[in-house]
């Protein structure tokens, strides 16, 4: 049994990590931190964990727990970079779920996140945690930067096509996300009366997942890409649909598209190429679905996933499994709800 700690245990991604890990056969949640809930029983705060975490209590800091084998940092960006250096020093493998370690180019980070990066050293070590594309690197990593939820859905839809050279590097990503992607802090935008019966474009042209998708597209395109990313808030709790638009550079048929995606994902456990993408098919699971359609000389590719699972905590556990030498599917091998 690996002893695992989670820094930031009350937020949505921290809660979701607990939900997944509490039934994982090879790990034990040994520490869960929370500033506001330190000293309280975890199952009193998260009543859905009753019976799954025994008498575990939130602590102020993971340093109160000895002999941790692995740590998830589920804090807002800017905080993670203060936690990671110590973990790396102590030789504890870690995954950061914030944006702090996603960019190899520190300038990109500083430009989009608006503050200095104080741990450039470990930035270079961090592997981008998208197992379907970087499985081997993740296996050998000490530090993984868990991808953003929008970024995961978009990259899964875009990468197979981009890497063939069949389409322009100029991608439009029209993305729609459930509200849990915005986290647990109440805001005007996520107030039910504001967002409950509408769809709201926000951070248009300014969202921080833009450079992340661009970075990924670049890796596959082999040249500099341009991503036009427009996020929109859906009146659902869990789920993302990213609709990605490309222009063909050469002739292609629907069959060509199908075989490109089938080749990419045919053997994957968690990503499926399907005729019609469905959030309900993947919600509550670590699965994602990808679909594509040829429309004249354009292609639309869809990526759907549960933003808290494959878009955050589930993918983090998938990476942890790889980093600890476990079966990648461990603790995650459940279908989506369907209905």
Q: How far is the CB of 72 from its own copies (least distance, A)?
A: 16
Question: What is the phi-psi region of residue 54: left when phi exceeds 0, alpha when psi lies from -120 to 50, beta otherwise?
Answer: left
Is the CB of 24 or the CB of 77 nearer to its own copies?
A: 24
The CA distance from 188 to 193, in Å, is 9
Q: How far is the CB of 59 from its own copies (least distance, A)?
A: 20
Classify residue 129 by its DSSP letter.
-
Q: How far is the CB of 311 from its own copies (least distance, A)?
A: 13
Is the CB of 23 or the CB of 253 nearer to its own copies?
A: 23
Q: How far is the CB of 82 from its own copies (least distance, A)?
A: 26
Kindly state the tokens that stand for 16.
Answer: 């979701």
Nearest to 19 by CA among 51, 45, 52, 44: 52
Nearest to 269 by CA among 283, 255, 284, 289: 289
Is the CB of 155 or the CB of 291 nearer to its own copies?
A: 291
Residue 22 annotated in active site? no
Is the CB of 164 or the CB of 194 nearer to its own copies?
A: 194
Sheet holding 288-295, edge to edge: 200-201, 226-233, 170-177, 240-247, 298-305, 288-295, 271-273
Q: Kindly list the catalytic residues.
A: 149
């Amino acid at each position: 049994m690996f002893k695992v700690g989670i820094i930031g245990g009350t937020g949505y991604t921290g809660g979701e990590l607990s939900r997944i890990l509490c039934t994982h056969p090879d790990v034990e949640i040994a520490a869960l931190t929370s500033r506001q809930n330190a000293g309280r029983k975890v199952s009193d705060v998260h009543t859905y964990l009753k019976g799954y975490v025994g008498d575990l209590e939130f602590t102020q800091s993971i340093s109160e727990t000895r002999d941790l084998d692995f740590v998830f940092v589920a804090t807002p960006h800017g905080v993670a970079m203060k936690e990671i250096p110590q973990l790396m020093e102590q030789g504890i493998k870690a995954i950061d779920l914030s944006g702090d370690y996603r960019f190899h180019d520190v300038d990109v980070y500083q430009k989009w996140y608006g503050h200095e990066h104080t741990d450039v050293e470990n930035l270079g070590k961090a592997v981008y945690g998208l197992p379907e594309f970087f499985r081997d690197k993740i296996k050998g990593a000490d530090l993984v930067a868990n991808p953003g939820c929008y970024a995961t859905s978009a990259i899964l839809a875009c990468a197979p096509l981009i890497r063939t050279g069949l389409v322009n590097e100029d991608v439009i990503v029209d993305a729609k996300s459930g509200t849990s992607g915005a986290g647990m802090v109440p805001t005007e935008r996520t107030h039910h009366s504001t967002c409950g019966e509408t769809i709201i474009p926000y951070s248009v042209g300014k969202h921080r997942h833009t450079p992340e998708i661009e970075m990924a597209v670049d890796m596959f395109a082999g040249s500099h890409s341009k991503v036009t990313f427009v996020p929109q808030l859906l009146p659902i709790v869990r789920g993302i649909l990213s609709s990605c638009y490309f222009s063909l550079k050469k002739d292609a048929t629907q069959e060509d598209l199908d075989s490109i995606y089938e080749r990419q994902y045919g053997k994957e456990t968690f990503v499926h190429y399907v005729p019609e993408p469905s959030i309900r098919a993947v919600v509550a699971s670590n699965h994602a679905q990808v679909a594509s359609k040829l429309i004249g000389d354009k292609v639309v590719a869809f990526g759907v996933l549960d933003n808290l699972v494959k878009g955050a905590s589930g993918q983090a556990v998938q990476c942890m499994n790889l980093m600890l030498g476990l079966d990648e599917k461990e603790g995650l091998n459940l279908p989506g709800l369907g209905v």
